[in-house]
């Protein structure tokens, strides 16, 4: 599958998103509302998604679209077999965006037959961007990406995001168990944890309670860097409501500790 044209297009979409999101970042007149699930949405989220949706409609009219702000209530469903679907999170890390913390990004993925085959993560306030296409490797602005070679749980650096989410998902006890087995824990949050796994800076990152647009773009980047990406229970793909990324060497051992039937 030749994805070079799609990858170029996705990076162009990221350029469009960066221009909008950076202009509104730390703006005094940023408009914020609460969604039905009590999470926040800004006018920047909406403007980015609208701009990307319009470009996709014009330049990829036969492709389906799944975006956080326009289809969040339609469910976490992949398109039917044989279809191409763009999956977009306009601003991953809206809470950081609101507080002026530069750890946020636009996530853009292309899924074919429900499988993410291309991902771009663009974090303009950090001056960072990561991308990958199936079979072509993973890259950042600094060069090729490669996961770590850590093979023992006792040597693992783990990022777990929000303790509250793990507690709400009835996984806090397994997380605490895992934290006692690894070398150290951190909570970098959002897309950054997963990109650090792809860079080899972290060995494992995971969190419950996620939507496909939170996950899809991350999958090919981690996998093309040599890692593994599943749900917390070990299911592949972005459609299972949680995420676990690793260097691949310790993945099964981590799943064994935190999966629901453990």
As a whole-number percent, the residues of the chain with pLDDT over 90 amount to: 85
pLDDT band at 21 (very low <50, low <70, confident <90, very high): very high
Of 9-23, 28-42, 172-186, the least confident: 28-42
The CATH number assigned to the domain holding 69 equals 3.30.540.10
Which pLDDT score, from 0 to 100, does residue 37 have? 67
Q: What is the pLDDT of residues 50-61, one digit of tens each?
A: 999 999 999 999
Our count of domains for the chain comes to 2
Considering 86, 118, 144, which residue would you say is the last residue of a domain? 144
**166 and 95 housed in the same domain:** no
100 and 170 in a single domain? The answer is no
Q: What is the mean pLDDT of the chain?
A: 93
Q: Is the pLDDT of residue 176 over 70?
A: yes
Residue 185, strand partner residues: 158
Mean pLDDT on 25-40: 83
If asked whether residues 108 and 19 sit together in one domain, one would say yes
Out of 121, 144, 167, pick the residue that ends a domain: 144
Residues 19 and 136 in one domain: yes
Per-residue model confidence (pLDDT) at position 34: 81
Provide the whole-model pTM. Answer: 0.94
**Partners of 65 in the beta sheet?**
86
Its domain, for residue 197, covers 153-258
Contacts of 36 (CB under 8 A, 6+ apart): 73
- For residue 73, the model assigns a pLDDT of 47
Q: Are residues 170 and 138 in the same domain?
A: no
158 and 218 together in one domain: yes
Answer yes or no: do 88 and 42 share one domain: yes
For the chain, what percent of residues have pLDDT higher than 70?
93
Of the residues 144, 171, 202, which one is the last residue of a structural domain? 144
pLDDT value, residue 76:
45
Same domain flag for 45 and 138 = yes
Same domain, 10 and 75: yes
Identify the CATH number of the domain in which residue 158 sits: 3.40.190.80
Do residues 26 and 138 share a domain? yes
Are residues 117 and 166 both part of a single domain? no
Asked if 134 and 164 sit in the same domain, the reply is no
- List the single range of 27-41, 90-104, 160-174 with lowest mean pLDDT: 27-41
Q: What is the mean pLDDT of residues 106-134?
A: 98
Residue 68 reports pLDDT greater than 50: yes
């Amino acid at each position: 599958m030749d994805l070079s044209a799609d990858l170029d297009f996705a990076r162009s979409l990221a350029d469009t998103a960066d221009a909008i999101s950076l202009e509104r970042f730390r703006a005094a007149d940023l408009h914020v509302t609460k969604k039905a699930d009590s999470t926040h949405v800004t006018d920047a989220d909406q403007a980015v998604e609208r701009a990307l949706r319009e470009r996709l409609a014009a330049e990829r009219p036969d492709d389906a679209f799944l975006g956080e702000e326009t289809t969040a209530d339609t469910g976490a469903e992949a398109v039917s077999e044989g279809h191409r679907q763009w999956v977009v999170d306009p601003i991953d890390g809206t809470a950081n965006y609101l507080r002026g913390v530069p750890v946020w990004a636009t996530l853009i993925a292309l899924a074919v037959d429900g499988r993410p085959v291309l991902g771009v993560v663009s974090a303009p306030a950090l001056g960072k961007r990561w991308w990958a296409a199936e079979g072509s490797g993973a890259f950042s602005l600094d060069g090729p990406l490669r996961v770590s070679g850590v093979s023992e749980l006792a040597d693992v650096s783990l990022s777990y995001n929000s303790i509250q989410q793990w507690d709400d998902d009835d996984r806090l006890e397994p997380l605490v168990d895992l934290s006692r087995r690894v070398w150290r824990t951190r909570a970098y949050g959002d897309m950054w944890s997963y990109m650090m796994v792809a860079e080899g800076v972290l060995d494992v990152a995971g969190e419950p309670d996620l939507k496909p647009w939170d996950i899809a773009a991350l999958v090919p980047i981690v996998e093309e860097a040599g890692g593994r990406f599943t749900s917390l229970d070990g299911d592949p793909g972005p459609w299972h409501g949680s995420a676990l990324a690793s260097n691949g060497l310790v993945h099964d051992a981590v799943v064994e500790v935190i999966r629901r039937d453990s």
